[in-house]
Chains A and B, each alone.
Chain A
Amino acid sequence: MVDFPQSTRRNAIDTIAPESALRVRWRRSTELTAKILSNPATVLGFAIIVAMFFMAIFAPWITTANTPDPYQMPRDWGATRMPPGTPGYPLGTTNEGGDVYYGIVWGTRMSLQLSITVVGITLVVGSIIGSLAGFIGGKLDEVLMRIVDVFLSIPELIFALAIAAILGPSFGNIMFALAVVFWVKYARIMRARVIQIKNSDYIDAARIIGDSKLNIYFRDILPNSFTPVMVQATLDMGNVVLIAATLSFIGLGEAGIAEWGVLVSEGQAGIASGRWWASTFPGLMIFLWALAFNLVGDGLRDALDPRTESSR
């Protein structure tokens, strides 16, 4: 062995400069945003969503609201079955003289209300039930999860259809039916995530230093378990509208309201005589809405998944 020159600094391992928790969060979220926006498909999805939200919020300014109820289609019996491009009716009219353009704009507003209400309620309810089941465990977990299993055994569209059918055709009933069907997914995802976190080392560490159960639940577990649920919520913003439109199309919506599914159903009557526009345009809106949230949801999932780090 040669005689090594002795270093003056022993154990000269660099210490990593402690970064404040806030700064770490900030840095992470900016990194995540950059990653999400680096995917063109996700950006396209965002663009569609922004346009849709704009249309929904400014509906009363974009069109002249129907009185007394703006969500009812205005009927102009003097201008039925007009093709697109007719002055005053840019996208044509239906058999009953409904303005397709008006229906699309106010349909966006309805879809926004529907998806935010349903996803909001189910997200909160499902997350609370799922996280409690996962955190408390034992009997409670067992009972709740068996209920979830039963709910998941019924295909979701058919389940929602059954509820809405029994309550009678109305938009409110469709919303209620969707809420009953959709919370289970969140409960299951949340429970799995909470259990995963509960068994992780840093929760053990919190326990060892003597944090209270409540503290662990609210400070360590809840804030860290929302990402998978958020991805699902994004995807469901689209799914909910898709299913609601299907139910309306089948005939469980209120006839005459400015809702996309109802409009497609109404327009169906004219296709044999070549009047393609009355169902094509509202259907396109449903498609774009679902597509946008699917794109963003997928992008979000990819960006949050550490395994896709190297891809793309």
Chain B
Amino acid sequence: MLDMIKRKSGTANSSATIASVKDLTVHFQSKKGKVHAVDRVSFEIYDGETLGLVGETGCGKSVTGRSFLQLLPIPPGILAQGTVNFHPHARCASCTGEGCAECEHTGRCPVPCPSCEGSGCSRCDDSGAETVELLRLPDRDIREIRGDRIAMIFQDPGKALNPTLTIGDQISEVFFQHRTDDLLEASGFDAADREFGAGALKRLASQRNGGIDNLLLSIPPLRGRRDRILKALSEMVAEALAQTHIPNPQQVMDRYPHELSGGMRQRVMIAQALACNPDLLIADEPTTALDVTVQARILDLISDLQQRRQTSVLYISHDLSLVRRICDRVAVMYAGRIVEIGRTDQVFKNPCHPYTRGLLQAVPTAARKRGELMAIKGTVPELVDPAPSCRFIGRCQYEQSACRMQDPALHPVADEHSVSCFIHHPAPAGDAPGFDKRTS
């Protein structure tokens, strides 16, 4: 069954997709008008890969990442159009998540589409795998995906952890929300049981317990049950923390976020994100707020965990050198549009968009001589009701009249490598730009 899905979906390449974004368009209502924060963005994330999403501040990369989990503030945000199709996996039936040969040691298996059983149909976007459309998923369903199938790491771990709850409390919430049955099972309780206090125990294990439940659970015989649940919970939390190489997880659990260093906090965030073995991890600039020395270690940790569990990662960053280090593919965003996407080696060896070239020239490398660093002139345009021209206009060294007429779409220049620039595909009207034709 597994093979069948892969064969069917592997059209241009040999791997299945975990998520595909089509024409995602997000506007923000502001006093000056509609800000086109993300404009017709399309890309796919392959199963098990790390995709880097690179761009300057305000180019829409975080908005893109957040829209996966419906974490955009609406209003002022407006989902104008587009879909994000996600193919959730299920826990491997033969190893119950431990990792075995069947699931290639990931603990997860793809789920075939219920309507076509893997052969591909309109329901599943022709992928053959179960498909959910994230942007329009009802509240209840998206909550089941959040933290379980898709997890997120935030930029500043100091702000993304609640200062008034202990580390243990915060990681526990993930298990309460998504691993209720495991918790009950670990305490030797059958979910179908109808004995006295069963409701209270279930509510405790799913964080729906009220004051009466707490009172009930604090007196024997339920007290013992409660303690067993809490013990199982603390073991699960410790295990999650240990995954991220945190020393003394039992002690860290009782700490408050401000008592930990920035690197440790980000490890906690990662532990929390990977606690349920998600299919997709959205990492929104996870190392930006950290010291440079810590950055490298966190980066290694993410790529290590990613390789071990084959979790797909959408790595959002403004830092090209980081992206080059850990990503399989790179998508470059500029002013709400993807201007170039391809395998990391393709994009870095042969950058085809003037913006990508500019970015690469702005990064110091050992090979470059002193004084060769170049900044891209101008600033990011305001995205309020933009003209139908290329977004890079005014900052581009090669712009011609064609660039002002129409916004170029993504076009393939090589296998898996696409660029949206008229240098690489014929312009509909006006003078076509070229790398040999420089305008001031």
- For A5, what are the chain B residues with a Cβ–Cβ distance below 8 Å? 397, 435-436, 438
On whether the beta carbons of B349 and A11 are closer than 8 Å, the reply is no
On whether the beta carbons of B374 and A10 are closer than 8 Å, the reply is yes
**Nearest residue, chain A, Cβ from B377:** A12
**Bound CA–CA A4/B360 (angstroms):** 10
- For B440, what are the chain A residues with a Cβ–Cβ distance below 8 Å? 8
**Nearest residue, chain A, Cβ from B31:** A38
Contact with B along A1-43 (1 / 0, CB 8 A): 1101101111111100000000000000000000000000000
On whether the beta carbons of B374 and A11 are closer than 8 Å, the reply is yes
Q: Say whether, besides A1-B367, A2-B350, A4-B357, A12 and B435 are in contact (CB < 8 Å).
A: no
Contact of A7 among B367, B374, B379, B436 (CB under 8 A): B374
**Nearest residue, chain B, Cβ from A7:** B374
Contact of A4 among B361, B377, B378 (CB under 8 A): B361
On whether the beta carbons of B349 and A14 are closer than 8 Å, the reply is no
**Bound CA–CA A37/B254 (angstroms):** 49
For the complex, is B351 an interface residue (Cβ under 8 Å from A)?
yes
Question: What is the size category of the interface that chain B forms with chain A?
Answer: 10 to 19
- For B349, what are the chain A residues with a Cβ–Cβ distance below 8 Å? 1-2
**Bound CA–CA A1/B366 (angstroms):** 13
For the complex, is B210 an interface residue (Cβ under 8 Å from A)?
no
On whether the beta carbons of B371 and A14 are closer than 8 Å, the reply is no
On whether the beta carbons of B374 and A2 are closer than 8 Å, the reply is no
- For A9, what are the chain B residues with a Cβ–Cβ distance below 8 Å? 377
Contact with A along B127-144 (1 / 0, CB 8 A): 000000000000000000
**Bound CA–CA A9/B373 (angstroms):** 12
- For B435, what are the chain A residues with a Cβ–Cβ distance below 8 Å? 5
Q: Say whether, besides A4-B357, A5-B435, A5-B438, A12 and B351 are in contact (CB < 8 Å).
A: no
Say how far A299's CB is from chain B's closest CB, in angstroms: 17
- For B350, what are the chain A residues with a Cβ–Cβ distance below 8 Å? 2
**Bound CA–CA A8/B361 (angstroms):** 14
On whether the beta carbons of A7 and B378 are closer than 8 Å, the reply is no
On whether the beta carbons of A13 and B351 are closer than 8 Å, the reply is no
Contact with A along B395-408 (1 / 0, CB 8 A): 00100000000000
On whether the beta carbons of A12 and B367 are closer than 8 Å, the reply is no
Say how far A89's CB is from chain B's closest CB, in angstroms: 49
On whether the beta carbons of B351 and A2 are closer than 8 Å, the reply is yes
For the complex, is B375 an interface residue (Cβ under 8 Å from A)?
yes
**Bound CA–CA A73/B438 (angstroms):** 85
- For A11, what are the chain B residues with a Cβ–Cβ distance below 8 Å? 373-375
**Nearest residue, chain A, Cβ from B371:** A10
**Nearest residue, chain A, Cβ from B365:** A1
Identify the interface centre among A5, A8, A13: most chain B CB within 10 Å of its CB. Answer: A5
On whether the beta carbons of A14 and B377 are closer than 8 Å, the reply is yes
**Bound CA–CA A7/B362 (angstroms):** 13
**Bound CA–CA A2/B361 (angstroms):** 11
Say how far B230's CB is from chain A's closest CB, in angstroms: 39
Q: Say whether, besides A1-B367, A2-B349, A2-B351, A7 and B375 are in contact (CB < 8 Å).
A: no
**Nearest residue, chain B, Cβ from A310:** B76
**Bound CA–CA A5/B435 (angstroms):** 8
**Nearest residue, chain A, Cβ from B30:** A310
CB-contacts of A39-90 with B (<8 A)? none
CB-contacts of B374-393 with A (<8 A)? 374-375, 377-379
Identify the interface centre among A4, A9, A11: most chain B CB within 10 Å of its CB. Answer: A4
**Bound CA–CA A1/B440 (angstroms):** 24
- For B371, what are the chain A residues with a Cβ–Cβ distance below 8 Å? 10
**Bound CA–CA A209/B412 (angstroms):** 58
Say how far B158's CB is from chain A's closest CB, in angstroms: 17
- For B357, what are the chain A residues with a Cβ–Cβ distance below 8 Å? 4
- For B361, what are the chain A residues with a Cβ–Cβ distance below 8 Å? 4
**Bound CA–CA A8/B438 (angstroms):** 10
**Nearest residue, chain A, Cβ from B351:** A2
**Bound CA–CA A2/B423 (angstroms):** 16
B binding-site residues for A, Cβ under 8 Å: 349-351, 357, 361, 367, 371, 373-375, 377-379, 397, 435-436, 438, 440
Instruction: List 16 additional contacts besides A1-B367, A9-B377; criterion CB under 8 Å.
Output: A1-B349, A2-B351, A4-B357, A4-B361, A5-B397, A5-B435, A5-B436, A7-B374, A8-B440, A10-B374, A12-B374, A12-B375, A13-B375, A13-B377, A14-B378, A14-B379
**CB-defined A-B contacts under 8 Å, sample of 17:** A1-B349, A2-B349, A2-B350, A2-B351, A4-B357, A5-B435, A5-B436, A5-B438, A7-B374, A7-B397, A10-B371, A12-B377, A13-B375, A13-B377, A14-B377, A14-B378, A14-B379
> 6 smallest A-B Cβ distances: which pairs?
A13-B375, A12-B377, A2-B350, A14-B377, A4-B361, A7-B374
